[in-house]
Structures are given as C-alpha cells and as structure tokens.
Structure 1
Amino acid sequence: MIKLGIIGVGRIGRVHGESITKYVEGAEIKAIADAYLNDDQKKWAKEKGIPNVYTDYKKIIEDPEIDAVLICSSTDTHSKISIEAIKAHKHVFCEKPIDHDICKINKVLDELKKNPKVKYQVGFNRRFDHNFRAVRQAVKDGKIGEPHVLKITSRDPEPPSIDYVKVSGGIFLDMTIHDFDMARYLMDSEVVEVYAAGNVLIDNAIGEAGDIDTAIITLKFANGSMAVIDNSRQCSYGYDQRAEVFGSEGQVSVSNDSDSSAVISTKEGVTGEKPMYFFLERYIQAYAQEISEFVDAIINDKDTTVNADDGLKSVLIGLAAKKSLQENRSVKISEV
C-alpha cells in the first residue's frame, strides 16, 4: 500500500483526497498539511479517515512511512516543495504549473536527474479524460491520416475571483496551460511558434488586474501542423470543453459531457441538456485516473504519464503566448 501525503488542502487538494479515498486502489492518505488549516478541513480529514493533520508540510516530507506527496498548495510553493520532496526521496505529484519561472522549473529537473528513482508527475488531468484519450488514440492509430489542424475550445462557466487573477500568472499560465498541454498530447508534436490575441470582454476588473478574459491562440508545430485555441473566462451555458483534429484522411472530434444524452423532440423544437457546469463534475474521473496511474508508476517502476519535462514545455508555450500578446507578434518558443 502506497502511503500518500497531501500538501495543501484547498479546493484541488480536497478533490484529490475525495478521488483517492473513493476510487484509487493501492494507496491511502496518511497525512495532510496546510499552513492555513481550519476546523472545516480538520473535520473533512477525520471523515475521510486521514490520521495525521499538520500545519507544517515538512512533517509530511520528514515522515519515513510516506512514499509520495501531492503538492496542491499555491503555485509559488510548487517548485520549492518539489525539490525538498525529491531530496527526501519522495515520489511527487505536483499540480500545474511547476512554477511560472523557467529557472525554478529547471532546478526541479536538475534535482530529478540526481534522484532518478523518484517518480514525478504533473497534474494535467485532461490527458486522463475518456473523451480526449479517444481522440489521442484515433490520431495515434492513424485513423485520420496525418494530423493537419487541431481546434480546441475551452471556456469556463464563470471567471475566478479578482484576488485569484492577481496571483494566477495570467490566463495563459492558469487556464490555457491545460490547452497547451492538450495540444502537444493530441498532435504528438512540439510547439515551435505561438501567436496570441486577447481582450477584456467580460469583466473590466480582470483588465485592471493586468490580465485578459478572452483569447484566441494559434500554434505551429514542428511537424508543420497547426492549432487554434479559443478561451473565455465566462460561458453562459456551462463548462465548454471540445476538441477536433482534422487530418489527411478524416477528422475526429469530441463534444461536451452532459448529465445525460437525452434529446427531447417536440413540435416546439429539439432540446438537449447543457454541458456540465463545473470542472469538478466534468473531470472527477480524470482526477482519479491520473492518481491511479501515478500510484501504478510507483508500484511497477514505470515512467509517469505526464513528467516534469511536459510541465516545463507547457509553461514555455504559456510564456511565449504572454510575450506574443504584449508585443503583438508571433513568438518562437526558442525566444523564451
């Protein structure tokens, strides 16, 4: 049984805690830690049968019985805690991004080279979604020929708080970073050039915080293929998550998940259900699957599905997109 420690038990930390206790075999949570631990979090831990609750995450890293840590704390702590955990020979699951600073991510990579037995996985949960995996498999199996064009639509049901926007690193490193990883995953090629256009169309306060809420990004890949990503921080009909890959011999696409596939047809018209409203509803099984595969990599000494280098490359694309928006030009990844 792999013993886990969760560092940071805000929203995403609890999501992982819930999925591990319900769905993940071969692992149990021995401890949680949060610098701002409150009574509600303590109650939640007790309900989940988690025996140890700390305010100091170092107690998890120093515990010889804990095999792996999940880093779910604020982004500015990810690389620091990653390095501490790797040095302590703990396997690491780190929520995205590893850091906003490339130098700090490279320090994590350097530490992993010194500790090759440590498994490190980055939390790009959408790779584990049943829909996107089906697209990936169709492309990999050559069912659409050579992939030429990828289209990704990614729209949130409502914008985050302004306090969060201020520390998020901006839309490209917070929201679109998932789409950058998905683009690499679906097209199986590296992004070499980025052009980003964006504006503030939803909430002026987001602009005042130095960010945008609506964007279109085009990507060029090393194999000559291209991608278009459209993002919005507010989608009135729910959580809009779609993708299409067009190739030399066909195309494969996936639409949104809804609570059911029921379609009502009457003389007044034809109606179906809206997409699931929130990412926790849409991706709860993907969260469980990513931890299951992380645990499997530890038990069976396999490579992790999404490694630290994948984490680095998505941040590089995000920084190139920021530079493109600021300078109103196409930016090569090599410039970042």
Structure 2
Amino acid sequence: LLDDPEIDAIVICSSTNTHAQIIEEAAAAGKQIFCEKPIDLSLARTDEALAAVERAGVKLQIGFNRRFDANYRRVRQAVESGEIGTPHLVHIISRDPAPPPMEYVRVSGGMFVDMTIHDFDMARYLVGEEVEEVYTAAAVLVDPAIGEAGDVDTALITLRFAGGAMACIDNSRRAVYGYDQRAEVLGSRGAVQTGNQYANAAIISTGESIRRDLPLNFFMDRYVESFVAEMTAFIEAVRDDTPTPVTGYDGRMALILALAARKSHREGRPVRMSEIAGN
C-alpha cells in the first residue's frame, strides 16, 4: 500500500497502539496522513511520530471531528469574533449512553486519553488559548468492573487557561437518556451555548406533561456530518497544498492535558502542563 505511487494519502483508523508506527512508515513513504486520536498513549512516542512527519515534510491531520460540528463552530465563532467578549467560564458536558466493552476499556489507555481527550481539544478550540493547569476529581460510579480495570467512569475536570479563563469538563460513561453533548461559554459581554441533537423536533403536550423524544443515542448519529466535514477538509488540504486544520501539535496538546488529568486524579492535586510537557 505504501509503495503504491498512485496513493497520495492514507487514513489511520486502527487501534491506538499502531498509530505511531503507521505514521512513521507513511511519512517515510511520502504519504499525506490522517490519523484518528490519539497519536499514541505515550508522549515520547507521540513526539517520535511527529518528528518523522516533520522530517518527511508531509501533512498530518488528527481526527478531532467535533471541531467540524456546525454547533461547536458557531460557539467558536462567537468567541473568536468577540461577540460574547472575553471568555470567563466554559462548561463542556460529554456523557456516553453506555460504557464501552470491558475488553476495550482494558486497552484504551483510560477515560481521560480515550474519551475526555475530545473535550480537552474542544476546550482549547473554543477558548483559543493554551491550558496552564488541570485539576481532576473522578470516581467509579457506573460499573465496578471499570474500577477493577484501573480506570474511572465519572469525572469533573477543571482547567485554567493562560489568559485566566476557567473551564469545567463533565464526563460520564453512562447517561441513560442518550448521548449527551453540550457546551457553554460565558464571556464578558454575553454567553453562547449549544445543546443536544434529536431525531426530530416534535414536542408532545398533554394534560400531564410536555415532553419530546430522547437525544440521539450514538456518536455516529450525532456527529455524522462532522466526520464528513473533517475528511473533506483533509482532502482539500492535500489537494490544495494548504495546512491541515487540526495538526499534530493539536494532538500532542490534547494528550498532554489527558496525561495531566490522570496525574491529577492519582495524586489528588492540580497539575501544571509543564510537569508533563517538560517546558
């Protein structure tokens, strides 16, 4: 595959433990690369893969598809344009409808690297600044087997940004009502928020209640358009020889945040990014 001159780019959607090696091999073959998150569970191994991309001079895009969701893009627009002023508080809610299989949990690298890494990237994307400090409170409240595997299933993570803004990420491996994906940014001049997606807009009103159907229940339903949009952006970057919109640096920074969150949970204290990144 990598020796085929007719192939310009590859998409890496294999298990995480294969990502870095395939990136290195594809870069050496001169292929443009799209890789699902994370690049690797190890920061050192991530840096080796990014160095290979840099040496080869090829493009790399990381699969943080939520950046391409129209709702989150509108939130980012409200922040970037100054429409809501300077960001003060960010609240990101990300709750799965059910935990993944235990076989997956055991090899996933843990909730922070597997699940929350999307929210870490979203926090950086929405605010447009780097995080300086992370504090994590986490527990096993959904499934004791997850705890036996050395992971957590419920967490509140606070972030402090370089400009002073603060964020709270609210994670759970089980929200019985569906796939819960919401965000709000409070700024000096106003606020912007985005809610869940539903299969329909129907509201049922009776003498007993006013209700609607449950939110979409699977990430492929909720984010199908964003997956298409991110792949379109990658193809356009390759075709037009322009920078990819989500870089290896973005993948690295999200991993650093995930590793800091894990360290904070284990040690019960705030952790600065410099403790993980070494600079």
Out of 221, 228, 236, the position equivalent to 1:281 is: 221
Identity among equivalent pairs (%): 54
Out of 110, 115, 121, the position equivalent to 1:175 is: 115
Corresponding residue of 1:76:
17
Corresponding residue of 2:171:
231
Tell me whether 1:151 sits opposite 2:54 in the alignment: no
Aligned-partner SS, 1:159: coil
Corresponding residue of 2:40:
99
1:332 and 1:166 map into 2 onto residues whose CA distance is 27
Give the superposition deviation at 1:82.
0.2
Aligned-partner SS, 2:151: coil
Alignment size in residue pairs: 276
Corresponding residue of 2:184:
244
Give the superposition deviation at 1:61.
1.3
Gaps of 5+ in 2: none
CA contact (8 A) 2:135 2:157 kept: yes
TM-score (norm 2): 0.98
Give the alignment of 1:1-336 within 5 angstroms: 60-116=1-57, 118-336=58-276
Give the superposition deviation at 1:112.
2.0
- Deviation per CA, 1:79-100: give whole Å up to 9, x if none: 0100100110000000000001
1:204 and 1:113 map into 2 onto residues whose CA distance is 43
Moved over 6 A (4+): none
Aligned-partner SS, 2:4: coil
- Deviation per CA, 1:247-277: give whole Å up to 9, x if none: 0000000000101122122222111121100
1:112 and 1:331 map into 2 onto residues whose CA distance is 29
CA contact (8 A) 2:95 2:173 kept: yes
The amino acid of 2:63's aligned partner reads G
- Deviation per CA, 1:92-138: give whole Å up to 9, x if none: 0000000011111111221122122x111000010011110110111
Aligned-partner SS, 1:230: strand
Higher-Rg structure is 1
- Which structure exhibits the higher relative contact order, with contacts defined as CA atoms closer than 8 Å and separated by 6 or more residues? 2
CA contact (8 A) 2:23 2:53 kept: no
Corresponding residue of 1:31:
none
Larger mean Cα displacement after TM superposition, 130-139 or 239-248 = 130-139
The amino acid of 2:38's aligned partner reads P
- Deviation per CA, 1:150-194: give whole Å up to 9, x if none: 000000000001110000000000000000000000000001100
Gaps of 5+ in 1: 1-59
